[in-house]
Amino acid sequence: MMETVDKIKQQIAENPILLYMKGSPKLPSCGFSAQASQALMSCGEQFAYVDILQNPDIRAELPKYADWPTFPQLWVEGELVGGCDIILEMFQQGELQPLIKETAEKHKPEDAQE
């Protein structure tokens, strides 16, 4: 069984845009996760998510690993961007969209057609 922190590190490494949230983007289980995933979806790029309600081990360990107590958490290219407030603020200021777009572009498979 993989250690939880290793699992977290692997998820963050493998997914350039990753949202740890309660529920899923289509069925969020809390208002903050709903707002955060809505903002991300509005950027128009694919992103990965982990439902921490389905993963109690991650829910327990990630706040310590991230040094960030709450969910949701947005990670972009291995860096913690922040939680709901930061995500919404960046979205409203037009900073989230280019960050997500550029990251998605950078990690598109070589042969992917638009």
Structural domains of the chain in order of their starting residue, each with its CATH number: 4-101 (3.40.30.10)
Please give the pLDDT value at position 108: 87
> Whole-model pTM?
0.93
Residue 22, helix vs strand vs coil: coil
Q: How far apart are CA 9 and CA 38, in angstroms?
A: 25
Instruction: Write out residues in the chain with pLDDT < 70, as ranges.
Output: 1-2, 111-114
Backbone conformation region of residue 46, classed left if phi is above 0, alpha if psi is from -120 to 50, else beta: beta
Please give the pLDDT value at position 58: 98
Please give the pLDDT value at position 111: 67
Please give the pLDDT value at position 2: 67
Strand partners, 82: 74
Please give the pLDDT value at position 114: 56
Looking at the chain, the whole-number percentage of residues with pLDDT higher than 90 is: 92
Residues 6+ apart with CB under 8 A from 82: 68, 73, 74
